[in-house]
Amino acid sequence: MSTSSPHILVVEDEPQIRRLICEALRGEGYTCGESSNAQDALALAAGNDVALVLLDLGLPGMSGNEFIQELRTWSQLPILILSARNAEDDKIGALDLGADDYLAKPFGIGELLARVRALLRRHGQDQDAAPTFQFGDVHVDLSRRIVCRGGIEVHLTKMEYRLLAVMLANSGKVMTHRRLLQAVWGTGHTEQAHYLRIYLGRLRQKLEVDPTQPKFFLTETGVGYRFQS
């Protein structure tokens, strides 16, 4: 990946939207690859130094979800999906398959660019996966399994700690209920969304300044949760 100007692959079948997105990205100094379908996009993703994929879910032929499934067999490239309004199920399906974030159409260019920056930053950090995290007055050392708040150690139960570690490892990323349940409780528990409400509530009680107005452990309504530092 080039650090000076990351290359972004835009997969969108509507030429006007594709052009608009690419112009905005180039205006920010990124280089841009374009594809109107998922098959060509897979070839481009394999052959180029791509830093991020912007993926429309409603594509002719091979679907956006099939693209994600295929790409995830050999790549952890960040994927930002663009979903049509009223396509809640598609969006959740794509996140379950391993997409990193989503924007609902119509979206503002400013928001698109902010999400792109956040994903590139996160992906860059993944390379040297820092085992420590600092947010607010909380310090977490994953290598030593220690959580401190204001310098005082906070006791977390085993499952609270596991949920925290998964959220931190996926910082900035939308985690669907299914993906979180699978990562923390295992594949047999992917329908127990109430576990998440309970345990997220406990993490907020222990680590947020105001648990009713969380700043770090955010709810993505109808989708899942996101940790944001």
- Interface with Ca ion (CB under 5 A): 13, 56, 58
Please name the residue ranges forming H helices in 85-229.
88-96, 109-126, 158-169, 177-184, 193-207
Among all residues, whose Cβ is closest to Ca ion? 58
Given a contact cutoff of 8 angstroms between Cβ atoms, the answer to whether 64 and 96 are in contact is no
How is residue 96 written in tokens?
A: 């379950």
Q: Which is nearer to Ca ion, 56 or 90 (CB)?
A: 56
**Shortest distance, position 14 Cβ to Ca ion, whole Å:** 5
Neighbours of 216 (CB within 10 A): 20
Neighbours of 159 (CB within 10 A): 14
Q: Which is nearer to Ca ion, 58 or 98 (CB)?
A: 58
**Shortest distance, position 80 Cβ to Ca ion, whole Å:** 15
Q: Which is nearer to Ca ion, 58 or 211 (CB)?
A: 58
**Shortest distance, position 82 Cβ to Ca ion, whole Å:** 8
Q: Which is nearer to Ca ion, 105 or 206 (CB)?
A: 105
**Shortest distance, position 95 Cβ to Ca ion, whole Å:** 18
Q: In whole angstroms, what is the distance from residue 84 CA to residue 101 CA? A: 14
Close Cβ partners of 229 (under 8 Å, ≥ 6 residues apart): 133, 134, 135, 171, 172, 216
Q: In whole angstroms, what is the distance from residue 39 CA to residue 101 CA? A: 21
Q: Which is nearer to Ca ion, 55 or 203 (CB)?
A: 55
**Shortest distance, position 185 Cβ to Ca ion, whole Å:** 35
